[in-house]
Structure 1
C-alpha cells in the first residue's frame, strides 16, 4: 500500500510537470472548491507537487515514517485494539491531507490566484502518529541533529503556527503542515480512545531513567 501510494504520486506529479493544464485542474484552489464546488481538489492536490525536489522530499519522508506506522497499526489490530488497519492507515494519510485542505479553505476562499499542491498535510499526519506512539525516539533535524520526537514535534507545531499566523509568502503551506500534524496526533484516539494509555505510558517512560 505504501509503495502504491508513492507510485501513484510520482506518476501523477510527473504528468503534471509536463502538462500544466492537468496541474491546474488537480491543484487545491480554495476559490474553485468553495465557489465552483470542485471538492475533488481537496484530495487530488496531494498527488501533485511543485517540483521534483518537493516530490522527492515528501515521498522519502513519507516512506521513512509510513513503514513504521503501517507495522504499528497492524500490530494493534493483531492485539485487538483496532480493526481494519489498512483502512486506518489510508484514513490517517489521506484524511490528514484532506482535513488540512478543508481547514485552510476559509483563509483563501476568495482568492482566485491561491493554489496549493503536495502531500505535506498527509505526511505530517503520519509523522505525528508515529510521535504519538513513540515520543522519545530521536528524529533528526536537518538529518544531522537528533532530537526526541515529542520535542521536535512541539517545535514544528509552534513554528508552523507562527509562520501561518504571519502569512509569510515563502511558497510553503504552513497551515497544511500544522493541521496535518494535529490530525495525525489525535487520529489514534479516533481509532480507539483507549490508545491514550499508549501515549501516557510512553511519555512517562523518560529516556534518561
Structure 2
C-alpha cells in the first residue's frame, strides 16, 4: 500500500522539485552500471555520509552529496514518488529558493539525528529520504486533511483509496519513530527520517503562522485552500453492505 498522488494542485510550476528529481535520476544513472563492480563500495564510502568520518572532521561535503545517492532502483523510485507527490505544494508554499533551502536544511537535520543516534558507525548512509521526510512533515502541518490516493495491491487485487494526509503521513512517521527507537537493524536510516520530518514541521511552522495559524486551519478545515484536483482514474468504489 503506497501513495500515488494527492488532490492538492500547486499554483506555480515546481521547477526546484523537478530539478531535484532530475539530478537524483541523472546521478543514479551515472553509477548504475557499476553496481556489480567492486569499486562501488568505495564510491559510496567516498560520497555517502559516514558518521564516524564526519565526527572525526573528514568528509564534510558528504553532508550534501549523500542526499543525491541511492542504493537501487526501488530506493530511488520510492523517494522520487514521494517528492513528486508532496514537493510541489511545499515549493508553492515557500517559493522556489526558500524551498530549496528548506529541503537542504531538512536533509542536514536528518543527517544530524542519524549521526547522533549512531556516532561510531562506519557504514555509509545514502538517499534523499531524510530531506523528503522534511517535505512530508511540512505538508502535514499545512494540509493535514488533503486527500491522498493510496494504491492497495494484494496479489491480483488492485484498489485506489482516497485517505486524508494526516492518516497517511501520520502512519508513515509512526513507523519510522517506532523502528528508530527500537534500533531496527535492517539497513534503513529511520532516525534520519524522524529528524527530517520533525525539522520539516518546525521550519514550516512560521509559514503556517503567517497564514493565520489555527485560524488558517479553521478556515480551510485542514484542506487545501483551493479547488481539489480531479482525476480520470478515480478512487475505487466500495459497495455498501446494508444491515438486515
TM range, smaller chain: 0.7 to 0.9
Deviation at 1:199, TM superposition (A): 5.2
The Cα offsets for residues 118-170 of structure 1, whole Å up to 9 and x where unpaired, read as: 00011111122122111111234555443321233332222211101111112
Aligned to 1:183: 199
SS at match of 1:197: coil
The answer to whether the 8 A contact 1:135-1:203 is kept is no
Alignment of 1:43-62 (within 5 A): 43-62=64-83
Equivalent positions of 1:1-209 (< 5 A) are 1-17=16-32, 18=34, 20=40, 21-73=42-94, 85-112=95-122, 114-141=123-150, 144-190=160-206, 192=207, 194-195=209-210, 197-198=212-213, 200-202=215-217, 205=221
Q: Which has the higher helix share?
A: 1
Inter-partner Cα distance in structure 1 for 2:43 and 2:214: 42
Q: Kindly report the root-mean-square deviation, in angstroms, between the aligned alpha carbons of the 2 structures.
A: 2.3
* TM-score, normalised by the number of residues in structure 1: 0.81
Whole-Å separation in 2 of the counterparts to 1:23 and 1:15 = 13
Deviation at 1:65, TM superposition (A): 1.3
Query: Structure 2, unaligned stretches of length 5 or more?
Result: 1-15, 153-159, 224-244
The normalised TM-score by structure 2 is 0.71
Higher RCO structure, 1 or 2 (CA under 8 Å, sep 6+): 2
**Larger-gyration structure (1/2):** 2
1 CA distance for matches of 2:218 and 2:166?
9
